[in-house]
């Protein structure tokens, strides 16, 4: 396997997008989704929750603690109504809320 320079990996010379471009786009999507979610949550909860993925009609949300996940589950009906007003969540009908220990490494919200 040949080594390629980072500029080559980022260049749009591939048909569609290359693997690195797809990863960068996905990371960007996750940041946007998470900032939209956090804007709707109260401060202590906003720091502990992030959107992992939006797949079809399901938004997958990871929380850093079981307490935050439980609180978010109680807020889910109203939160879902607010989220569906946003373009990125327009087709979402279900929130899948999970506890994730890997979440602790996330940077604080911007």
The reported pTM is: 0.74
Helix 66-83 × helix 19-40 angle, to 10°: 90
**What is the band of 1 on the pLDDT scale with cuts at 50, 70, 90?**
very low
50 touches 30 (CB < 8 A):
yes
- pLDDT for 18 equals 74
Using the structure block, give the residue that is written with the tokens 């797949």: 55
- pLDDT for 68 equals 95
Separation of alpha carbons 6 and 13, rounded Å: 13
Q: Where are the domains of the chain?
A: 16-103
48 touches 68 (CB < 8 A):
yes
Q: Distance of CA 85 to CAs 8, 18, 51, 93, Å?
A: 39, 32, 16, 12
- pLDDT for 77 equals 94
For domain 16-103, the question of CATH label 3.40.50.720 is answered with no
pLDDT digits (tens, 9 = 90+) for 47-56: 999 999 999 8
């Amino acid at each position: 396997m040949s080594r390629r320079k980072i500029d080559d990996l980022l260049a749009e010379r591939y048909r569609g997008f290359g693997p690195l471009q797809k990863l960068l786009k996905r990371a960007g999507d996750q940041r946007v989704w998470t900032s939209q979610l956090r804007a709707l949550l109260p401060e202590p909860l906003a720091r502990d929750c992030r959107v992992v993925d939006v797949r079809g009609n399901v938004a997958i949300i990871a929380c850093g603690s079981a307490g935050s996940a439980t609180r978010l589950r109680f807020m889910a009906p109203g939160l879902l109504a607010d989220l569906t007003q946003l373009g990125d969540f327009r087709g979402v009908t279900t929130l899948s809320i999970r506890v994730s220990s890997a979440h602790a490494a996330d940077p604080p919200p911007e």
